[in-house]
Amino acid sequence: MKAFATLLDRLSYEPRRNEKLRHIVRYLREAPDPDRGYALAALCGALDIPAVKPAMLRALVAERVDPVLFGLSYDFVGDLSETIALIWPAQFTGSNNAPLHLAEVISTLLSASRREGPQLIARWLDDLDETGRWALLKLVTGALRVGVSALLARQALAEFSGHPVEEIEEVWHGVEPPYTDLLAWLEGRGPRPDPSAALTFRSPMLAHPIEDEDFETLQPADFHAEWKWDGIRIQAATRRNGLARDVRLFSRSGDDITTSFPDLIEALPENAVIDGELVVARDALIATFSDLQQRLNRKVVSAAMLRDSPVALMAYDLLQVEGEDLRPLPLPQRLARLEALVAAKAHPRLMLSPAVPFESWEALAEKRAQSAENAAIEGVMLKRLDSPYLAGRPKGFWYKWKRDPMIADCVMMYAQRGHGKRSSYYSDFTFGVWEGEKLVPVGKAYFGFTDEELKGLDRFVRQNTINRFGPVREVVHEPQSGLVLEIAFEGLQESTRHRSGLAMRFPRIHRIRTDKKPAEADRIETLRSLLRSG
Amino acid sequence: MRPSDLLHPRPEGLYCPPGDFYVDPLRPVPRALITHGHSDHARPGHGAVMASRETLAIMALRLGEGFCETRQEAIIGEWVTINGVEVAFFPAGHVLGSCQIALRWKGLTIVVSGDYKREPDATAAPFEVVTCDVFVTEATFGLPVFRHPDPAKEVGKLLASLQENPHRAHLVGAYSLGKAQRLIRHLREAGYDRPVYLHGALERVTAYYEETGIALGPLARAAGLPRGSLAGEILLCPPSALADIWSRRFAEPLTVAASGWMRVRARARQRGVELPLVISDHADWDGLRQTILETGAGEIWVTHGQEDALVHWCLGQGLAAQPLHLVGFGEEAAEDAA
């Protein structure tokens, strides 16, 4: 446990990717099996320990610390595990417990009931120092937040073993924690794990944002255009083997999200790997991202959710079919194969993302602007006709061209502390516009500013608080005193959530207008006119 | 008589009506009593200023000789009368010259702590408990998550990192008044005898510490060194300089910060700190509670920091307590000095 705690501690303070890799590689070289495999699983987010849940940890700490003080501390620290690790009353138990092993923690917890889980955790917390407590809680809750993605962890495996990361990716989804077979293979002590036992993830091809000057050099005739859907990018892989059928849905980063979307399974053709956008679709109507959000990160999907927010796949590329790797083929050939596959399946939850025909960049710009009518469309994608399917973000092949955002001057009204990276600063802001003589809230924003600007915003909140409602502070918002925020947003919808009856999409702080008085901020009528035009 | 007759907040700062003076005022006032030299407490432009000899000297160093019209040195522990209010200064243990200020009037005693700590510190006279009716306390670290570890252990981490990373210059962000000098002393106590390099902004105050008889061992200037130097050496600089392009000129700089805030990971990460050292010149949660109880005060006023939690705890102890909501305090502390 100590080696793992040291590793997590170092990773949490190390900003540089290469140094993070070095720390992980060193740990993999020094730690024994099966500890290191479990550590790897923790870094990849592949551990799920049912006997421990955050609510249970809160209950544990509530037995030992004044709940008000705990609440204020959590509000400041912004991370549950860290707050508990810091606030846990240190006690010398006088025990001579042997040092805790990572594998022992995990195997003990995996066989523990929900009643035993808390008792085990409490005993270990009493025996560990602060860093150890923090690492234990991070491990068992699965929310590490040390800036290591599953991809980076696999890159560390590549560096550790000298095998290219692509080779590791090919077998990754066929192996399970604590990965002793994988590590044995990587160290040349065992056979290659058989990836055919499971469907594997292929690194997706990503797009660059297009720049104005790109249009001067790029030729419209060289490109295929399609809508940029506001869903989540997924890779759907299927295999039929006699009676057995295996289906995997992977997120863009390779996480297996199959269990969240049972309603998509039957729509997928056999023995294919499709790249596309997961969207909520009611009949043929594609819903907005906020509808899809309800469906994300759920392990259990209710019947009501399946009925009210059914998902569909908007397919736009085909990587493999019947064992044939299509990735080296040019885009039009892959699209032709995809179209045939979608047509043959003829399932309403499987759609082909339609091509957007255009003659000139001006004509495409016009279509992109018109697409604002459809809230499920973020803009257009441009893909070179001669592009093979390349892993990563290769230059010069795929571009994304999002719509221009709308802008409004609003006044900060309330603020709340953020979590994670922004914890302990006031970083969630509710802002409003004028309706008659009064300000009405129209939205909330918690990004768009730099760390430096955040400090200024935080200071403004602390020095201009006029009211406190629990964690929420009301800040001064009078015509002549207050803070004007220029808010950029991607669209406007009618909503009952705010008193103004309007809701912004993706609102973010575009600029902090210290040069303006709140009296100069926009009026609700201006926003309503955008609603009509947009 | 109510305690607020003797002391209450005004926009200019904490004001004593019978004595007609302010304690650590935020704006220029005719008469000010100053607890210590940090810039959120010691500001320029007052008429008469009363403070410890060291605080007066530090103010002159940092604000210029003309920082006020007239100066009066407070003799530690000696009661003097200002317009009928008895006043005395007692050590606060925060930085060199830092004091608490006690006010006595018609049988009522109020102690304004300024900033303080209870841990031993070879560069500041130790905190003295003064029995009082009302204790005005800071609360920079007024949450139970803040427990400062033994500074020797923290300094040990820095020395271990030097061993492990001999190719990297260790840039330690430490506030120029107090933290920097205390850190050097801790390094010397740990047996570190190499020169400690100083950013220009630290030179004058550090020289003043040495003038008062605080031995800091070999010191050297960082200014004028060639690019890529100071591998395996310690360089102290103001925290704000860590993010400067200036810091990139040294050998693979390793970012270290010495502050009580370093106890919270997100705070360290927000500032790009690779090696956080939890060393603070403020009382931690235990120190605040211990001090409040030891003063015997029945009423606690909390000036700045995490006042909500400390007020809540005081109320639970049966003590009257309220936050003072003084704007402007803790700005320097929050960024640098803590």
How many percent of chain B have pLDDT more than 90? 88
Q: DSSP class of residue B44?
A: S
pLDDT at B77 over 50: yes
Cross-chain residue pair B269–A12, CB shorter than 8 Å: yes
pLDDT at B337 over 80: no
Which residues of chain B are within 8 Å of residue A73 when distances are taken between CB atoms?
A: 143-145, 309
pTM: predicted TM-score of the whole model, two decimal places:
0.68
Q: Which residues touch A44 (CB under 8 Å, ≥6 apart)?
A: A150, A153, A154
Give the strands of the sheet with B219-221, arranged side by side. B219-221, B196-198, B234-237, B170-173, B254-258, B275-277
Cross-chain residue pair A420–B267, CB shorter than 8 Å: no
Is residue A311 within a helix (H) or strand (E), and if so which, with residue range? strand A311-321
Q: What is the mean pLDDT of chain B?
A: 93
pLDDT at A44: 87
Shortest CA gap B274–chain A (Å)? 5
Yes or no: is domain A208-402 CATH 3.30.470.30?
yes
pLDDT at A376: 86
Q: How confident is the model at residue B336 (pLDDT cuts 50, 70, 90)?
A: very low
Least confident of A362-376, A459-473, B159-173: A362-376
pLDDT at B314: 96
pLDDT at B117 over 80: yes
Q: Which residue, among A336, A469, A489, A461, has the nearest Cα to A405 in the 3D structure?
A: A489
Cross-chain residue pair A76–B147, CB shorter than 8 Å: no
pLDDT at A362: 85
The whole-angstrom separation of Cα A160 and Cα A168 is 11
pLDDT at A277 over 60: yes
How many CB contacts within 8 angstroms connect chain A with chain B?
71
Cross-chain residue pair A69–B147, CB shorter than 8 Å: no
Q: DSSP class of residue A392?
A: B
- pLDDT tens per residue across span A141-150: 887 888 888 8
For A2-141, CATH number out of 1.10.443.10, 1.10.1040.10, 3.40.50.1400, 1.10.3260.10 equals 1.10.3260.10
Q: How confident is the model at residue B119 (pLDDT cuts 50, 70, 90)?
A: very high
**A454: nearest CA in chain B?**
B270
Q: Which residues touch A458 (CB under 8 Å, ≥6 apart)?
A: A425, A426, A427
The answer to whether residues B258 and B271 touch, using CB atoms and an 8 Å cutoff, is: no
Least confident of A237-246, A309-318, A332-341, B283-292: A237-246
pLDDT at B326: 66
Angle (CA) B52 B54 B56, round 5°: 70
Least confident of A228-232, A373-377, B192-196: A373-377
- Domain residue limits, chain A: 2-141, 208-402, 406-533
- pLDDT tens per residue across span A386-416: 999 998 888 999 999 987 778 899 999 999 9
- In B228-287, the residues whose Cβ lies within 8 Å of chain A are 263-270, 272-276
A187 is written with which tokens? 């160290």
Residue with the bigger pLDDT between B306 and B129: it is: B129
pLDDT at A94 over 60: no
**B329: nearest CA in chain A?**
A463
- Say how many C-beta atoms besides its own lie within 10 A of residue A475's C-beta: 23
- pLDDT tens per residue across span A13-66: 988 899 999 999 999 999 999 999 999 999 988 887 877 888 899 999 999 999
| B286-291 mean pLDDT | 97
Residue with the bigger pLDDT between A370 and A39: it is: A39
pLDDT at A151: 87
Is residue A340 within a helix (H) or strand (E), and if so which, with residue range? helix A331-345
Which residues of chain B are within 8 Å of residue A451 when distances are taken between CB atoms?
A: 270
pLDDT at A1: 86
* Domains along the sequence of chain B with CATH: 3-145+281-337 (3.60.15.10), 151-277 (3.40.50)
Cross-chain residue pair B145–A87, CB shorter than 8 Å: yes
Shortest CA gap A121–chain B (Å)? 19
Q: From the list A15, A69, A463, which residue is nearest B144 (CB)?
A: A69
pLDDT at A96 over 70: no
The whole-angstrom separation of Cα A157 and Cα A167 is 11
DSSP B164-213: H-TTS-EEEE--TTTHHHHHHHHHHHTT--SPEEE-HHHHHHHHHHHHTT
- pLDDT tens per residue across span B187-204: 999 999 999 999 999 999
How many percent of chain A have pLDDT more than 90? 51
pLDDT at A534: 43
pLDDT at A195: 66
pLDDT at A531: 74
pLDDT at B334: 43
The whole-angstrom separation of Cα A154 and Cα A31 is 17
Which residues of chain A are within 8 Å of residue B144 when distances are taken between CB atoms?
A: 65, 69-70, 73, 87
pLDDT at A324: 86
> Which contacts qualify for A20-29: CB closer than 8 Å, 24 or more apart?
A20/A147, A20/A148, A20/A152, A20/A156, A21/A152, A21/A155, A21/A156, A21/A159, A24/A148, A24/A152, A24/A153, A24/A156, A24/A160, A25/A156, A25/A159, A25/A160, A27/A3, A28/A156, A28/A157, A28/A160, A28/A183, A29/A160
Residue with the bigger pLDDT between A94 and A99: it is: A99
**B254: nearest CA in chain A?**
A14
ipTM for the whole complex: 0.92
Interface test with B, best of A9, A76, A421, A453 (most B CBs within 10 A): A76
Q: Which residue, among A233, A312, A234, A240, has the nearest Cα to A269 in the 3D structure?
A: A240
3-class DSSP string for A246-298: EEEEEECCCCECHHHCHHHHHHCCCCEEEEEEEEEEECCEECCHHHHHCCCCC
Least confident of A190-199, B77-86, B110-119: A190-199
The whole-angstrom separation of Cα A388 and Cα B330 is 58
Which residues of chain A are within 8 Å of residue B328 when distances are taken between CB atoms?
A: 463
Q: How confident is the model at residue B270 (pLDDT cuts 50, 70, 90)?
A: confident
The answer to whether residues B202 and B164 touch, using CB atoms and an 8 Å cutoff, is: no
Q: Does B328 touch chain A (CB under 8 A)?
A: yes
Cross-chain residue pair B266–A69, CB shorter than 8 Å: no
Topology given in CATH for the domain delimited by A406-533: OB fold (Dihydrolipoamide Acetyltransferase, E2P) (2.40.50)
Which residues of chain B are within 8 Å of residue A425 when distances are taken between CB atoms?
A: 270
Least confident of A506-520, B56-70, B227-241, B287-301: A506-520
| A127-156 mean pLDDT | 89
**A451: nearest CA in chain B?**
B270
Q: Does B160 touch chain A (CB under 8 A)?
A: no
pLDDT at A300 over 70: yes
pLDDT at B255 over 70: yes
A2-141 and A208-402 have identical folds: no
Q: Which residue, among B182, B170, B338, B172, has the nearest Cα to B241 in the 3D structure?
A: B172
